[in-house]
């Protein structure tokens, strides 16, 4: 991994995503490259050997968030399963949702195209409501999530703006950092700390 020309970019993106996973504070996580064709990422389910593997040319923030969520599953902090992993990753923060999940069913209007910050907010809000429903005893919370998105008006871009609030501008900046220039990443972290101090959500 250290020899990869993509190491700096991968490391910076992984550190950005990890900020939203305080459960992993103090844990050393191995970071590697996914070699298997067709696999965008992989997260260890062995709590004694935490690690994630990603593809440098398809390195969305949500992919990293999904793999970090697998590490929570390994610690029994999140229910097992790929759909569950998608849902809990969506619930972390709209700033990590720069692409659609692979295992949950989404409306056609959200598939195969870039997500707006408002769509990211809509996904995050719906995921949090589904998790809350599970905690209240709802067994079909995944179907509830998928039905809720399907019932959204044709333009989901109008939903979820309130959840993002002042962080929308930061998310937009994060989505544009395709090359992750070090200075831009440092500035982004500084803005994040100011906006999210004391409330990791």
DSSP conformation letters of 26-92 = T---EEEE--STT--EEE---TTS-EEEE-TTS--HHHHHHHHHHHHHHTTSS-SSHHHHHHHHHTT
Q: What is the pLDDT of residue 86?
A: 96
In 3D space, the residue among 115, 114, 104 whose CA is nearest the CA of residue 159 turns out to be 115
Q: What is the pLDDT of residue 123?
A: 94
pLDDT in tens, 116-169: 898 899 999 999 999 999 999 999 999 999 999 888 754 344 444 334 343 444
pTM confidence score: 0.72
Q: What is the pLDDT of residue 159?
A: 41
In 3D space, the residue among 199, 129, 118 whose CA is nearest the CA of residue 164 turns out to be 118
- Calculated CA dihedral for residues 161, 77, 70, 122, nearest 10 degrees: -10
Output the six-digit token pair for 57.
């040319």
Q: What is the pLDDT of residue 19?
A: 95
Separation CA 82–CA 42 (nearest Å):
11
Q: What is the phi/psi pair of residue 42, to 5°?
A: -155, 135
Q: Would you say how long the chain is, in residues? A: 201
pLDDT in tens, 84-103: 999 999 999 999 999 999 89
Output the six-digit token pair for 66.
């999904």
Q: How confident is the model at residue 59 (pLDDT cuts 50, 70, 90)?
A: confident
Best-predicted range by mean pLDDT among 27-31, 94-98, 189-193? 94-98
């Amino acid at each position: 991994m250290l020899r990869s020309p993509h190491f700096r970019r991968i490391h910076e993106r992984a550190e950005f995503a990890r900020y939203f996973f305080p459960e992993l504070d103090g844990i050393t996580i191995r970071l590697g490259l996914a070699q298997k064709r067709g696999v965008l990422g992989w997260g260890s389910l062995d709590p004694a050997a935490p690690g994630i593997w990603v593809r440098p040319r398809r390195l969305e923030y949500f992919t990293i968030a999904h793999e970090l969520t697998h590490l929570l599953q390994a610690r029994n902090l999140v229910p097992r399963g790929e759909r569950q992993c998608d849902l809990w990753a969506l619930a972390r923060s709209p700033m990590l949702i720069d692409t659609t999940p692979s295992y949950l069913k989404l409306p056609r209007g959200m598939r195969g195209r870039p997500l707006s910050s408002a769509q990211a907010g809509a996904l995050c809000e719906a995921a949090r409501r589904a998790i809350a429903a599970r905690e209240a005893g709802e067994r079909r919370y995944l179907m509830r999530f998928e039905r809720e998105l399907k019932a959204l008006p044709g333009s989901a871009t109008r939903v979820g703006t309130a959840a993002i609030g002042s962080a929308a501008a930061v998310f937009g900046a994060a989505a544009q950092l395709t090359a992750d220039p070090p200075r831009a990443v440092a500035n982004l972290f500084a803005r994040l700390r100011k906006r999210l101090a004391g409330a990791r959500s």
